[in-house]
Each structure stands twice: as C-alpha cells, then as structure tokens.
Structure 1
C-alpha cells in the first residue's frame, strides 16, 4: 500500500521536521510520506552526531578541515539533507536550494 504524501515544514537551523509552519528563515515546505520524513529525521540525527565529532577536534591547531573524517561526514549528511528536501520540496524550496549551489560540484554530485 502506497503512503499518502502530506505537507511538512523543515527547519534546517533547528534540525526538525514539523507539521505546522514556524517563523524561520531556514524553513522549507515539503511533501512527503511518513517514510520519507523518517529518513529526513534520521539524516538530521546523523548530522548531529557528525557535528559532535567536529567539535571534538575543533580545538586541534593546524588540522586541515578536509583531513578530518567528522567534517567530511558532516558535509555529506548536509548534502543528503538538502538533496532530500530538494526532491520533496515545493518550487520555492527547489529554487532556494538551487541558488545555494550545494548540490553541485564534487561533493554534491549525487544530487537529484
């Protein structure tokens, strides 16, 4: 049985997916199934874990950003989050993400 898509609002800044809109500049409107929204929430959790890893090494002088696995993991999960929002988002969300350019280039080459 196919799940019905519903409207959700994604607040990037607070890493949450909500059923009701809130005042936020980092909010996107998406249309997703429960499974798709669960995937997005999992990506936010993974990103939070990766963010914590970046904190652990943030105080090490002379450690190149691209040499730390936590930084790369954080970047990749952000790209996956934006790619999924792009896939599920309304026209305004798609336009905004396109203007960011986050889904282009070597890291984001798996964009939709």
Structure 2
C-alpha cells in the first residue's frame, strides 16, 4: 500500500516533468505562504518590516520546498492553511459588518 500524500508533487511531476519541479513547487509554496501570512497576521506592519518578513518568508519557503521534493505534503498543507484562514477572515468580516449594522439601527 502506497501512502503518498503529495498530490501536488505527483501532478507537477506527471504534467511538467522533473526539469522545473523545484521552481514550480517553490513558487506555489511562496504564494500560499504569503497568503497565509497576510490572512493570519492581524496587524499592519511598516513597509521595511513587511519587506524583511517577506524576505525571510522567501528563505523559509526554500526550506519548505526541499521538504516538498521529498514528497512531504507541504504545499497541500499551505493550501489548507490558506483556505481555513480565508474562511475565518470572511466570517470575521461578516460578523463585524452585522455588528456595525445592529449598532447603527439601535441609535436614533
């Protein structure tokens, strides 16, 4: 029984070969890592701090991509993290919007 959980790796390998495997996985990991950071971090950072964080994210993504090459489900995990944080942010926005509407309707 083959317990391969890296669906993205298999898809990229079958459709694009192994020539650009690292590059494709790196870009995917970087995109989903940036989305997860943006959705998960509550405060706005100054531009230089943001730049530093994204540079460190790019370095960390390199390490994560190495794990992806060893068929660990890193890209899939980042996709799930981004989806969960996206749903959380959407629900939070809806809740704040409803609370604002309730407060406005109560004041004369």
* Structure 1 length-normalised TM: 0.28
Structure (1 or 2) with the larger CA radius of gyration: 2
In terms of fraction of residues, the more helix-rich structure is 2
If asked which structure has higher relative contact order (CA below 8 Å, sep 6+), I would say 2
